[in-house]
Amino acid sequence: MNVKRTLCPNGQRGQSTAEFAVLALVMVPLMLIVPLVGKYMDIAQTAAEASRYAAFEGTVRHSSSTAGWKSDSDLATEVRRRFFSNSDAPIKTHDVAGDFNAHRNTLWFDHQGTPLLPEFVKNVGVTTQKDALSQPFGALAGNFKLPQQNLYTGRINVNIADIKNLKPFDSIGLSLTRWTTVLVDPWAAIGPGQVTEKVREAGWLFPYQALDVIAQPLAVLMNNPVLAILGADTTPPDVGRIDPDRVPQDRVLEPYQ
């Protein structure tokens, strides 16, 4: 029995191997780059969340608070550990992120197992900025001796390490910046006493001292007993009286003056 064999032309030998090699040149880098871009996006989202944390810290630590502003170095220490460290990191005071894998986010490694944020201090930074309100509110704040650095910005800077032997990520020098600005001091008083003090120190906006000079002779005149006999209202003007709203004592944690 004769079997007829059909041979491929010489020009087609090894075609499948060549096609696979060409396809691999495209697919292998793509398979490495797509997860890497996802990790970059995750770091960017984390930086945005960290900026909100840094900004809203100013709502409890500002120029009117007893503790004052929190320093950039303290904020940076907290942000590195609570946002850019491992996802199950406990929230503890003075906790510091260490440059070892147990404190790193398990997803933020490249295909070679190298961390994208190898040194927390160098790779993650925090800067804050305080801005004054524009006119006319700034002028009013000055007369009432209120803090004018009300707009507070928390900015997070993240420098991501380059990826060795993966162009163009081997020399891209990627840096991410996210920031959030909030109104941190709404000029709220700690009690009626502070309201009275601020209003009386308002200068020309509340010139009660000058008005009191005028009202004193009038008060003497109104104390005349003849007016009382005639049934007139002899109550002298109470210049400078301030009646701020008072919160009921059962609605506050501690009594205030």
Q: How far apart are CA 202 and CA 207, in angstroms?
A: 8
How does residue 257 score in pLDDT terms, banded at 50, 70 and 90? very low
* Residue of 45, 164, 175, 42 whose CA lies nearest to 110: 164
Q: What is the pLDDT of residue 127?
A: 96
The CA angle 104-84-41, to the nearest 5 degrees, is: 105
74-124 pLDDT, tens digit each: 999 999 999 999 988 888 888 999 999 999 999 999 988 999 999 999 999
- DSSP E strands in the chain: the ranges are 124-131, 151-159, 175-183
Note whether 71 and 54 are within 8 A (CB). Answer: no
Please tell me what DSSP assigns to residue 236. P
Helix (H, G, I), strand (E, B) or coil at 104: strand
Please state the pTM of the whole predicted model. 0.66
Percent helix / strand / coil, the chain, rounded to 5: 40, 10, 45
The two three-digit tokens of residue 1, written as one number: 């029995």
Helices (H), 9-88: 15-57, 72-82
Q: What is the pLDDT of residue 139?
A: 58
Question: Which burial class, exposed, middle or buried, applies to 106 when counting CB atoms under 10 A from its CB (0-12, 13-18, 19+)?
Answer: exposed
Report CA 174 to chain centroid distance, whole Å. 22
Q: What is the pLDDT of residue 85?
A: 95
30-49 pLDDT, tens digit each: 666 788 889 999 999 999 99
Q: How many other C-beta atoms lie within 10 A of the C-beta of residue 239? A: 17
- Determine how β-strand 175-183 pairs with β-strand 124-131: unpaired
- Determine how β-strand 175-183 pairs with β-strand 151-159: antiparallel
